[in-house]
Amino acid sequence: MKAMKMNTTISKTRLLLLLVLALLLTATTHAAAPGITGPIFNLTAQAAFISQPDGAAVYSWGYGCDLSAPQPVFAPQLTATPFCYAMQVPGPTLIVHENDVVTVKLLNGLPAAAGNTSILFPGFNVNATGGVAGLLTQEAAPGGTVTYTFTASSPGTRAYYSGTQGDLQVEMGLYGAIIVLPASVPANCTSGLHAANLAAEAHWSESDFRLAPAAYDHPDTCYDREYLFQFSEMDPKIHTAALAQITDIATCVPTQSRLTCPTTLEVPTEPYQPAYFLINGRSMPDDMDPNYAAQYPHQPYNGNPHMHPGELTLIRVIGQGRWQHPFHEHGNHVRILARDGNLILSGSTITYPGAAAQALAGRLEFTTDTTPGQAFDGIFYWSGKGLNWDPYGHHPGSSDASAKLSCTPDANGYNTAAPTAINFWEWCQDHNKPMQVAPFGDVAGGGPATLPDANILTNGAWYGGSPYLGPNATLRATGCMPSGATQTNAPNCGATGSTPPSGTIANPPSSEAGFAFMWHSHNEREITTNNIFPGGMLMMMLVDSREFVIDESN
């Protein structure tokens, strides 16, 4: 039994490693927190089919933009062509500012048999007008409208979802997110660490895709990059039953054996047996395709985070289904800032540059649980500190001078003097400790472990001196050029160009050269698609060295 378990573990490990390598070779698209800006929104609820990686097209309901109303303004600014159709899962992310008076007009475009529908905005005092009275709020009858108005009284990330027959309508896809940006920007968001990261971003001609410099009106909530993830699950039996009943109602003709036709749905929602586990409406690997990809007209948002070492990355996470999802962000713990728009404060006061505020008290979490309907905002950070090896692949014995970049520690031990340096934010204590020198075991050289043959470790000759941020400073910064081409300091790859394994770099900076961390549900079934691994609620955080420009415009 133990041997079988070990073999299973090894098999899974190899599969995960293959997945990591495949992603490093192919992933060039990115996420962010895309949505539409308010404070006035014209939404509709309609039906459509959403796709899954196993080829299934699942009948679903979702909120979308009322195409008869003025088209929305999209954020952040994108070079790709964003869209907001009449149905999407999750619904459009609504982006507003603190103290905005928000108006959401909802048109019920669902099949008449589905009955009324509505939207709840937990955390806000909502005034609903029009429509018909429902159990929790005013509802829009089939073909009718209802209007919700509220003041965005506090910043943060929250869910919105149907308040009508939630066991069916939320399952069918009627949910979304609302992001409230703070009314003011803390003074320290443009100084210190953040100023250095902005300088590096400017040097490498990288655009700023944040919605705001801070998540809250608090000095400890400044960030450098952000992503929104909505976790949910889906039981296709419920969706199939809903479609069958709607079709039956629409086509039913009374006969002698069937004197009357049904007019309303009676869809059983128990027992609940989800087969699809979604991040922003998609399953892996679909969640790593671009935002607004044409092949997902009703699933416009992806789940493919990137960052640079030293950046504070804000993750906005919402549990949108019926199950709790234990999600593990490999690479570091997540510092929880707030839940449901409520900062977690200690009560003690700390003096910050230009301000004083209560200290945050949110804990570091190894696994971030998302309770249904609950949202949290948290900070993920990675610099390479504590690895006991140099993830930049610097090698003091190399004949290449560029592989000997200096690391001058600041007061905190990081290389921050030159934001233009490739190893900006390197943890200097581990400088010149390459993971592999021979390229076999490196314990004698001060490394953390003796590794197996590199060809085994990396599934072939894709190895270039370091399995993380690239082989060395020169190759990371310039890649290798085909024979006859010229580029300052660029090594020549020979006649075959830079296609691995002829070159020493697997992923030129023009495509990818990152340190990959798997982010996934800790419920093993949730990293499957219809019980097939890998799939489901799984994505990758790619930490790219500075010269790789993270383009979040798609």
Q: How far is CA 176 from CA 62, 94, 402, 407, in A?
A: 9, 8, 48, 45
Query: Checking DSSP bridges between strand 127-130 and strand 145-151, what pairing results, if any?
Result: antiparallel
Q: What does the alpha-carbon distance between residue 224 and residue 543 come to, in Å, rounded to a whole number?
A: 13
How large a percentage of the chain has pLDDT more than 90? 57
User: For position 8, what pLDDT does the model report?
Assistant: 35
> Chain centroid to CA 263: how far?
41
Nearest by Cα to 179 from 146, 119, 108, 227: 227
State the CB neighbour count (10 A cutoff) for residue 444: 9
> Chain centroid to CA 486: how far?
38
Half-sphere exposure in the Cβ direction for 511 (13 Å, CA): 14
Lowest mean pLDDT among 41-55, 84-98, 381-395, 534-548: 381-395
> Exposed, middle or buried: residue 441 (CB in 10 Å: 0-12, 13-18, 19+)?
middle
Residue 165: in which H helix or E strand, if any?
Answer: none
State the CB neighbour count (10 A cutoff) for residue 369: 14
Residue type, 122: P
pLDDT at 20 > cutoff 80: no
Residue 158: in which H helix or E strand, if any?
Answer: strand 156-161
Q: Which two tokens stand for residue 93?
A: 């992310």
Place of tokens 């390598």: 21
Number of H helices and E strands in the chain, helices first, is: 6, 26
Rg (CA), the chain: 25
pLDDT at 5 > cutoff 70: no
Q: Which residue has the higher pLDDT, 167 or 546?
A: 167
Q: How far apart are the first and last CA of the chain?
A: 48
Identify the band that residue 491 occupies on the pLDDT scale cut at 50, 70 and 90.
very low
User: For position 450, what pLDDT does the model report?
Assistant: 56
Sheet bearing 40-51, strands edge to edge:
57-65, 40-51, 101-108, 145-151, 127-130
**Superfamily holding 35-181:** Cupredoxins -  blue copper proteins (2.60.40.420)
Per-residue pLDDT tens digits for 33-65? 999 999 999 999 999 999 999 999 999 999 999
Place of tokens 């019926």: 322
> Interior CA angle at 306 toward 428 and 487, to 5°?
70
Place of tokens 């655009």: 207
Nearest by Cα to 213 from 238, 236, 192, 186: 186
Length reported for the chain: 554
Q: How far is CA 62 from CA 59, 69, 381, in A?
A: 10, 18, 34
Q: Which residue has the higher pLDDT, 330 or 25?
A: 330
> Exposed, middle or buried: residue 443 (CB in 10 Å: 0-12, 13-18, 19+)?
exposed
Q: What does the alpha-carbon distance between residue 11 and residue 149 come to, in Å, rounded to a whole number?
A: 54
Per-residue pLDDT tens digits for 141-193? 999 999 999 999 999 999 999 999 999 999 999 999 999 999 998 888 888 88
State the CB neighbour count (10 A cutoff) for residue 228: 25
Q: What does the alpha-carbon distance between residue 390 and residue 336 come to, in Å, rounded to a whole number?
A: 28
pLDDT at 84 > cutoff 60: yes
Residue 58: in which H helix or E strand, if any?
Answer: strand 57-65
Backbone angles phi, psi at 125, to 5 degrees: -85, 105
Q: H helices of 190-280, where?
A: 192-203, 236-251
Q: What does the alpha-carbon distance between residue 90 and residue 73 come to, in Å, rounded to a whole number?
A: 18
Q: Which residue has the higher pLDDT, 30 or 264?
A: 264
The whole-chain average pLDDT of the chain stands at 82
Residue type, 176: G
Per-residue pLDDT tens digits for 228-280? 999 999 999 999 999 999 999 999 988 878 888 999 999 999 999 999 999 99
pLDDT at 472 > cutoff 60: no
Over range 206-219, report the average pLDDT: 92
Domain parsing of the chain, residue ranges: 35-181
pLDDT at 453 > cutoff 70: no
Backbone angles phi, psi at 525, to 5 degrees: -65, -25
Over range 454-468, report the average pLDDT: 46
Q: Which two tokens stand for residue 27?
A: 């992933």
Identify the band that residue 464 occupies on the pLDDT scale cut at 50, 70 and 90.
very low
Lowest mean pLDDT among 131-145, 233-247, 338-352: 338-352
Nearest by Cα to 167 from 271, 250, 263, 255: 271
pLDDT at 449 > cutoff 80: no
> Chain centroid to CA 467: how far?
23
